[in-house]
Amino acid sequence: MNARTIRIDDVEFVTEAFGDPVNPPVLLIMGGMASMLWWPEEFCRRLAERRRFVIRYDQRDSGLSTKYPPGQPGYIFEDAVDDVFRVLDGYGIFAAHIAGFSLGGMVGQAAALKNPERVLSLTTISSSPVGVDTSHLPASGEAWMEHMKVEADWSDRADAVAYLVEDARLTAGTAHPFDEAGTRAFIERDFDRSGGYLSATNHSILFEVGEAWRDRLHEMKAPLLVVHGTADPVFPPEHGEALAAAVPGARLLKLEGGGHELHPGHWDRIVAAIAEHSGKIN
């Protein structure tokens, strides 16, 4: 693993890369309020072992990258899309395969539409289609929605950690037992590394994707792989199905009992799927 800080347009992105840079690059984009650590190091190493050059990065307001005052994000969804290419530019990479989780998958969709020549393929995990009316699709699970109505004290370590542990429990799938102790230890480490989560709440702005992307998924040129758990309570599986149906030639991989998570029990299957998908175009 090699760390690199990329400074572009007065923004710093903290990144880490795994594997040999001569291999096809795969850029990983994590979801809302999540630093790059939510792409676990072992997951990245397994993908790198498949002869891929894997890059993960802290988005703005997460991890160690540039942060803004809470409630005053200095960016919009479009900037998060451009940040994908800023990170690639920082590595001297023109085009890469992209994999995005949840909100990261939405950013990846827009990136593939904005600069199709720079996105070799796209894999979305536990995501939802961008620019599509999803009001007819199943809503998020009631228990998770009730949890979301509770406002954590993000400045208080114990309260923030407890809130996110409960969030992880509610978004976990049914295929594997929930590891509460391991989840708590990870979130504590992520909280400490990030210096708290106050600024991460700014990521709510990224769900305002704007009209520029409406009804454009049929234009996507990058081969699309949609990975979605059948027990996802945040974006129920119909969201993944709708995304796959909207992009010509897209493939859908369902994870039986998978939740809104990157559970270790599914890593081998996800890694193999990304490696196969990205191996078709180098």
pLDDT higher at 282 or 159: 159
Can you read off the two tokens belonging to residue 92? 């001297």
Q: What φ, ψ does residue 241 adopt, rounded to 5°?
A: -65, -40
- The predicted model gives 210-238 an average pLDDT of 96
What integer pLDDT is reported at residue 1 of this predicted model?
77
C-alpha 242/C-alpha 133 separation (Å) is 10
In a domain, 22, yes or no: yes
In a domain, 174, yes or no: no
Domain count, the chain: 1
Range of the domain at 70: 2-132+199-279
In a domain, 11, yes or no: yes
Can you read off the two tokens belonging to residue 224? 């699309």
229-278 per-position pLDDT tens digit? 999 999 999 999 999 999 999 999 999 999 999 999 999 999 999 999 99
- The predicted model gives 215-225 an average pLDDT of 97
User: What 3 state SS string does 110-154 have?
Assistant: HHHHHCHHHEEEEEEECCCCCCCCCCCCCCCCHHHHHHHCCCCCC
In a domain, 242, yes or no: yes
**Is a pLDDT exceeding 80 seen at residue 106?**
yes
Task: Check: CB of residue 199 under 8 Å from CB of residue 61.
Answer: yes
Quote the distance between the C-alpha of residue 275 and its chain's center: 17
In a domain, 145, yes or no: no
CATH of the domain at 235: 3.40.50.1820
In a domain, 187, yes or no: no
**Is a pLDDT exceeding 50 seen at residue 222?**
yes
20-56 per-position pLDDT tens digit? 999 999 999 999 999 999 999 999 999 999 999 999 9
Count of all residues that appear for the chain in the document: 282
What integer pLDDT is reported at residue 282 of this predicted model?
47
C-alpha 243/C-alpha 190 separation (Å) is 31
User: What pTM was computed for the model?
Assistant: 0.96
CA-wise closest residue to 222 among 98, 100, 119: 119
In a domain, 190, yes or no: no
**Is a pLDDT exceeding 90 seen at residue 280?**
no
137-156 per-position pLDDT tens digit? 999 999 999 999 998 999 89
**Is a pLDDT exceeding 90 seen at residue 281?**
no
144-201 per-position pLDDT tens digit? 999 999 989 998 999 999 999 999 999 999 999 999 999 999 999 999 999 999 999 9
In a domain, 183, yes or no: no
